[in-house]
Amino acid sequence: MVEFPLENYIDLENNPYLMGRITVNRVAREYHAEVDIIHKESHKIFKHVAIIYRLSSAEEATLSGVQKLRRFLIELENEQEKKNGD
């Protein structure tokens, strides 16, 4: 049996000090995913990315969280490239 909250950690390729964390919670028959970027050492939140509500399974919550984190990082990278190009 899976105990909640369920935490999943994702290494960030270009930053040795930060990592992504997807925290999945079960509320009644639904699942929610909290997406954060945290410090590797202390696990304190560096940037809160999103909360995704009303998902049908823990797997869907995890995958949706990973996708949200990926989109956030791509947007951040694109913004940085625009700043560097100006």
| Residue 86's pLDDT band (cuts 50, 70, 90) | low
Q: How far apart are CA 43 and CA 21, in angstroms?
A: 9
Q: Are strands 30-39 and 6-11 parallel, antiparallel or unpaired?
A: unpaired
Amino acid symbol at 76 = L
Per-residue pLDDT of 25-42, as tens digits, reads: 999 999 999 999 999 999
pLDDT value for 14: 86
Of all residues in the chain, the percent with pLDDT exceeding 70 is: 99
pTM listed for this prediction: 0.90
Domain ranges of the chain: 6-85
